[in-house]
Amino acid sequence: MRRLVSETRVHPAQLVLPLFVREDIAGEVPISSMPGVSQHDLDSLRRTAVAAAEAGVGGVMLFGIPEVRDAHGSQASDPEGILQVATRALVAEVGDALVVQTDLCLDEFTDHGHCGVLDANGAVNNDATLERYVEMALAQARAGSALLGLSGMMDGQTAAVREALDGAGFTDTALLAYSAKYASAFYGPFREAVDSQLQGDRRTYQLDPGNRREGMRETLIDLAEGADIVMVKPAMSYLDVLSDVAAASEVPVWAYQVSGEYAMIEAAAARGWIDRRRAIEESVTGIRRAGADAVLTYWATELAGWLR
């Protein structure tokens, strides 16, 4: 009876698995703050993506970790950079079974860890960063990425990338705008996952956690600039923003269950304080109930297996 009258359901195809591929490793390197999640070399990346596809997961989101970083994140747009190499590998391996997606941001590739190019005073130069994003977008599209995740929170990034892609003939490459991305404490474990070099914080270009209306305003701007999907990130602490966006958006709305959300549930479950499976299922159901059409979650493959 409960199944028959359930208002909110989660399907494996509504789940996206974030994956970390690193240039200078062999096999898998466990991420200590995210038990069960690893950095991958190309072989383990392929195996993990195949398992996700077999479980019916909807897509994978790739994050690249280069061996060499510099101030402009040069490896981010290099055709032979780790992210482009990994994208080609996964498109060949599982591209017919799920959507291969790529993160479009400079933070993993810069030696200062910020999401953009810095000016002489150490502040992020928005317009110079857009030029780099365009170069990255073209490199990722040429590598075969079906969807680019614009996570940098630069003003005008969606319009700049859409214009460049259309001009180069990549009219079918979709754009996921991280529209309401907040300056959150829950990104902590992710910094380890990508070996972040960040000093300081990103509060000058990510949103104030207290600002609900601003999340909606940023979303409307991305919709006007041509976003195919809009994102709220993190999920757990911003379900009100997610609900607002879902009520207003005419395109799909996604949410990212971020590293800190994952780590908290895993840590509490490891101590026997909560039921791990029930907590995972409830947390993702709550995100769907708030309005997310799809959820990026590190439990995507495991949860898909339970659902099937």
pLDDT (tens, 9 = 90+) of the chain, 308 residues, equals 999 999 999 999 999 999 999 999 999 999 999 999 999 999 999 999 999 999 999 999 999 999 998 988 999 999 999 999 999 999 999 999 999 999 999 988 998 878 888 998 888 899 999 999 999 999 999 999 999 999 998 999 999 999 999 999 999 999 999 999 999 999 988 888 887 777 767 778 889 999 999 999 999 999 999 999 999 999 999 999 999 999 999 999 999 999 999 999 999 999 999 999 999 999 999 999 999 999 999 999 999 999 98
φ, ψ dihedrals at 76, nearest 5° = -65, -30
Can you give the residue ranges of every domain in the chain?
12-307
Which distant-in-sequence residues (6+ apart) come within 8 Å of 308 by Cβ?
12, 55, 56
CATH of domain 12-307: 3.20.20.70
Q: Which two tokens stand for residue 97?
A: 């079974």
Q: Which two tokens stand for residue 257?
A: 């269950």
Q: Which of 191, 238, 236 is nearest to 219 (CA)?
A: 238
- Strand, coil or helix: 255: strand
Residues catalogued as catalytic: 181, 233
Length of the chain, please? 308
Q: Where are the beta strands (DSSP E) in 41-190?
A: 59-65, 99-104, 147-150, 174-181
Q: Which of 108, 98, 71 is nearest to 194 (CA)?
A: 108
Q: According to DSSP H, which parts of 145-298 are helical?
A: 157-167, 188-193, 212-224, 239-248, 259-270, 276-290
